[in-house]
Structure 1
Amino acid sequence: MTRVRIVGGRAMRGWTLAAALLASAAPGVVVAQAAAAKAPAPAPSALSESVAAVVNDDIISTYDLGQRMRLLIVSSGVQPTAESLPQLQQEALVSLVDQHLQLQELRRVERDQKISLIATDEELELELADLAKQNNTSKEQFLAALAARGVSAETLRGQLRAQVSWQRWIRGRYGTRLRIGDDQIKAAQQRIVAAASKPQYQISEVLIDASRVGGMDAAMSGGAQLVSELQKGAPFPAVARQFSAAPSAAAGGDAGWVSQGELAPEVQAALDQMRPGQLSQPIPVRDGVYLVFLRDKRAGSGGTLVNMKQAAVALGAQASAGDLEAARVKLERVRSAATSCADLEAAAAKVPGVVAGDLGEAEVADLAPQFRDAAQTLPTGQLSQPIRTNAGLHLVVVCGKRASGVEEADRAQIENRLFGQQLSMISRRYMRDLRNSAAIETR
């Protein structure tokens, strides 16, 4: 059970620290913009260093807290105003507590299992170089830009060390155990096809995890402050990377295209009232608070494309009952030998008088009525019963199905997305358990 003890006047200390930061901090900009800044580093705050929090006997100093706040200002683009600083302080403190809990847990596992988990200095330098490259600058210029904003390079290294090491541990411990089955992938593909006829939304999202920030009231308050900062011009991707608990945070909150019904009902209700270019107000959901930016919207597709193959025996319209029965027997031999779209032609080649071929991709509405019924009702990969037309007797199989104007869902992309969602859920639960069992004092 978490043992949290508030020591001293937290609000007064917090506002003293916030005031010192507000006096010395330059306007918040993203790191890419900061790289071009030539201003000298702000003068050190006159605030003496003291204890801001204790996490299982690890001390977080007011200097650490102030540094993390500066890093949040620079990297999120949130303006350091009297209104925004309390939330920046809260987020900085929560992230530092999480960082200490993660490193403590990783050190425990290293001791118990005699393995190396925590990122080395060499690995951190590679991460820094990659981060600088993403911001179109060199590592030296990147760190100089941070220093010009009063952010120590060690503050960024500390954050990166915890993030890289924790992600490695979660992926290493649980990634090899997770199995995304064919049934999950097929179900996702079928949902995509089924949802293609519904309205679709291209969104960016921020999820504020209520259990992480101290409850729904704190999450709603934080969400309202973020909305205010975003309306003032803070870049959504930068805010999402720093504040969001959703799996999309690493992509700047980009959740891509989603269909009506995929999101929580509360979020869907908000989207239904929004126009492209609009930002939602904070939306309370089961796990916390959502912010959604609607980038684009499109109507659902009305048509369905199917890719089909057939095996057939040629029969005229006046064929006798005996000829029809003989053709049926041949096609039943094919049905018993073929198990999917892939082996239909090979199975048909072994039965004299049966010809197989690819029918290509076509709109369901454009198919002959006998084939249309099969295309609409058959699961992908399942062979139909023999179908009679004026040209002969046919077996058909649906090899693929998608909505018109919608690209067929890529299996690898679906698998990666499901894998990432499950790992993110595991990590959040792991962190929740660590917080619940920790002794955390904030002062």
Structure 2
Amino acid sequence: MNKFFASPLLASPVLASLLAAGLLFGGNVRAQDLQPIDRIAAVVDEDVILKTELDRAIANIMNQYAGRSDQLPPRDVLERQVLERLILLKIQVAQAQGTGVRVTDQEIDQAIAGIANSNKISVDQLRQQLARDGSSYNDFRSSIRDELLVQRLRQRFAQTRISVSDAEIDAALAAQANTGTQYHLAHILIALPEGATPEQIATAQKKVEGVKTLIDKGEMEFNAAAVRYSDSPNALEGGDLGWRSLDEIPAAFGELMRKMSAGQVTDPIRGPSGFQLLKLVEVRDASQSGPKLVTQFHARHILVRISDTVSEAQAKAKAETLRARIAGGAKFEDVVKESSEDLTSQTKGGDLGWFTQDEFGPEFGGAVAALADNEISQPIHSQAGYHIVQRIGSRQSDVADQSKRAQVQETIGRRKLEEEWNRYLREKRGEAFVDFRVGKGAEETTAPAEPAKPAASGG
């Protein structure tokens, strides 16, 4: 089935990074507080990161940690963490633009409306909030544009580089036959460079053992230690890795998880990226039993896309014209063949097969659910454009096995994407020309400065 809708903006890991890096909602960070310094913090290929941009992101993070500033790393380490995030963002945006990824103003407006709605405010109220915080609405739009570009780059990467075979799904299902257990994990990474020297390995090992000692003695919570000492991209989120099933965890780690209780932290583990501490936050049973009945709809559609050259008004007008032709006696399949811009379903007369109400997004699914069998809709607006839909039928279907198989496929694909995407970003980061103009400059800083207290304890 053709999934012609982009994944929701608010579910994007890139948006989460933007929020964590303080690039979106800042919380009372005044522009005038950042005005005196306006110089370059780093040069990234042909782009630059301004010192004001870096200061704003750092100030926003410090605002988020108000009253908990002891959980943050030293200022120079925090500055480098945030600057690295901004560098990676610049690299990804440039890569997206260089490979032809484009975002329209209409799509940015829709994304902003979604963000406002999720915060239970109007777009005008969002503008007012940004103004009160001293933030520019144009800068905010630019951040959303960059997020959408990176999201689409990641989607394109997944489509071209990630595949999951039936054999992999079968093997995962067989492994899960007797367990539906999922594990909520967090980690701390003490990174090592490629080709690390014995001295670098010894220093990193001493540091990770010292951090473990702090946690074991109760002198620092795990998430606070992750924020302060971890070199992982998710350090500022407390090292949270979310919920994972066993097929999403490397086999060696999976064996450890089976033997651990919630709240326990592993001893240091040496991996390809460096030394890790893993925490088992909690465990849950996610197994499914019995039938899972859902309503499915069978429909066909005609799609008129919105693009740089076709405005929303023009797309809607064209969709209304196509519906009028059908109402006037034209065959639906003929209009599909002549005018639909969904190339995958066009060859099948617009047929979308059977799908659940939420599969293609709330606007589309809700409109189809409201139709009677054989009824043809008025133009339906979605992220893709405008649709004329004919509902063919509906049914109650047991999708337990189908749903479980799809879930396993998504899980394996997500794990592969995470691994390959991180490898891709490391590769692009290594290829990029980056000239630091603040902090420690061009000096290599593969890990935050070693905490004196854990180092003294040895571990």
TM-score normalised by length of structure 2: 0.48
TM-score normalised by length of structure 1: 0.50
